[in-house]
Amino acid sequence: MAWTKSKGFSKSKVDWAGDILISETSSSDEKDKALEILDNWRAIHRYPMHIFKKRLKRVSEKNIDKYALSVQRLKRLPSILSKLQRKYYGNKPTMKLSQMQDIAGCRAVLPNVELANKLYKESYIKGDLKHEKVNEKNYITHPKEDGYRSIHLIYRYKSDKEGKKDYNGLLIEIQIRSKLQHLWATAIEIADFFTGQAIKSNEGQKEWMDFFRLVSSAFAIMEDTALVPNTPKNKKELYSQIKKKEKELQVIKVMKGWKQAVEVFGQAAKEKPHLQFFLLELDLVQERLLVKGYTKNQEEKAISDYAKAEKRNQGKKEYDVVLVGADTTNDLKKAYPNYFVDTREFLIYLQKILDKA
């Protein structure tokens, strides 16, 4: 497979591109050039991401649990720009595009938190990695204020092989989660997508953000791990607050409605099992979904079409574009439940909480 090579853009030029894309005064020509630079910068992360994904799949499925799921993803353009804008202070950005640590990443989802911790300890603490670890955050031991729980590891790619040295220094993120933590994170992504909020970025409606924080603590109780800061320690009080929020927001009723929408994505994957990549364009206003599939040998075209679709729909909140890929269609459906798997499991666990309130 031919991997994308750098077009020679310096890191200062990459940072320029990030600044241009979030500036309200940039010209269309400047933005076009900036998008070209960002597309190349993102694409060259694919090879090191592939290397980390191969190892993650091997150690998680063979060494830990055969039911582990591992996937890879390039960060979407809207997510990149949103993150750059959130790191903006005054008239100057506090984060540069070249410094972003999660342009490319891979994720392992384990059946339970015990296995997630086992993978982390045996393969990423004791494990032999030649790449430099530059950052590590254990949000299972120390949950974030918003309720997010997972383990994040950032590595700097390093190779002595000819032809691969060009990728040295690129940062790759590894996430390790339990299934329950994954369901929670997925539910937020679904809520963000269908409501137009940014709960995931701590910019959503307070009622929804409070609901998910409380549910995360309830899930932590199920896993016997640390509670989310500033949530009730008393189970009865915690469950009571969740029940009140659910009633106010009609979460179960609303999410069942969303479930019907994402079933369309699942059917597309089911009917075309030979395809390894899917480009999805969803028009929320016209309620129209376009699905284009690609084989393993068409990955370059998939990346190119993805970039064109993002550019075409940039700034249009009523559209969503995403390119997803996995080793098998089954993995694809399970690892990206915000598009391919319904919200049934999340709602089952939520109902268990409500029954205890």
3-state secondary structure of 190: helix
**Region of poorest pLDDT, from 3-17, 85-99, 214-228, 325-339:** 325-339
CA gap 209, 249 in Å, rounded? 11
pLDDT band at residue 340 using 50, 70 and 90 as cut-offs: very low
How open is the CA angle 177-249-224, to the nearest 5 degrees?
30
Paired strand residues for 176? 108, 151
Q: Please, what is the end-to-end C-alpha distance for the chain in angstroms?
A: 54
Model confidence pLDDT, tens digit, residues 46-64: 999 999 999 999 999 999 9
Paired sense of beta strands 104-110 and 171-178, if any:
parallel
Model confidence pLDDT, tens digit, residues 234-276: 999 999 999 999 998 888 877 775 665 556 555 655 676 677 7
Q: How many angstroms separate the most distant Cα atoms in the chain?
A: 61
Model confidence pLDDT, tens digit, residues 126-148: 877 889 999 999 999 999 999 99
Residue 1 has which token pair? Answer: 């497979």
94 vs 16, higher pLDDT: 16
| Neighbouring residues of 354: CB distance < 8 A, sequence distance ≥ 6 | 239, 242, 243, 246
CA gap 311, 345 in Å, rounded? 35
* Average pLDDT over all residues of the chain: 86
Q: Specify the residue for token string 């998910």.
A: 212
Confidence check: pLDDT of 224 > 50: yes
Whether 215 contacts 147, CB under 8 Å: yes
Confidence check: pLDDT of 177 > 90: yes
Amino acid at 347: L
Confidence (pLDDT) at 198: 83
Task: Compute CA 246 distance to the chain's CA centroid, rounded to the nearest angstrom.
Answer: 25
Confidence check: pLDDT of 88 > 80: no
How open is the CA angle 312-292-269, to the nearest 5 degrees?
135
CA-wise closest residue to 294 among 319, 274, 311: 274
Whether 75 contacts 43, CB under 8 Å: no
Confidence (pLDDT) at 274: 74
- In Å, what is the CA distance from 78 to each residue of 124, 230, 239, 320? 30, 31, 35, 9
| Neighbouring residues of 108: CB distance < 8 A, sequence distance ≥ 6 | 56, 57, 60, 68, 69, 70, 116, 119, 174, 175, 176, 177
**Rg for the chain (alpha carbons), in Å?**
20
What is the mean predicted confidence (pLDDT) over 300-323?
A: 80
Confidence (pLDDT) at 328: 42
pTM of the model: 0.77
Confidence (pLDDT) at 285: 62
The total number of residues shown for the chain amounts to: 357
pLDDT band at residue 186 using 50, 70 and 90 as cut-offs: confident
Domain ranges (residues) in the chain: 186-253+344-356
Model confidence pLDDT, tens digit, residues 301-312: 988 998 898 888
203 vs 236, higher pLDDT: 236
Confidence (pLDDT) at 211: 98
CA gap 28, 315 in Å, rounded? 13
pLDDT band at residue 335 using 50, 70 and 90 as cut-offs: very low
**Segment holding 251, helix H or strand E:** helix 251-271
CA gap 212, 179 in Å, rounded? 16
Confidence (pLDDT) at 133: 93
CA gap 112, 225 in Å, rounded? 12
Residue 251 has which token pair? Answer: 């979460």
Confidence check: pLDDT of 332 > 50: no
Confidence (pLDDT) at 134: 93
pLDDT band at residue 339 using 50, 70 and 90 as cut-offs: very low
DSSP-assigned letters across all residues of 117-179 = HHHHHHHHTSS---SEEEEEEETTTS--TT----EEEEEE----STTTGGGTT-EEEEEEEEH
Confidence check: pLDDT of 114 > 90: yes
Share of the chain above pLDDT 90, in %: 57
3-state secondary structure of 84: helix
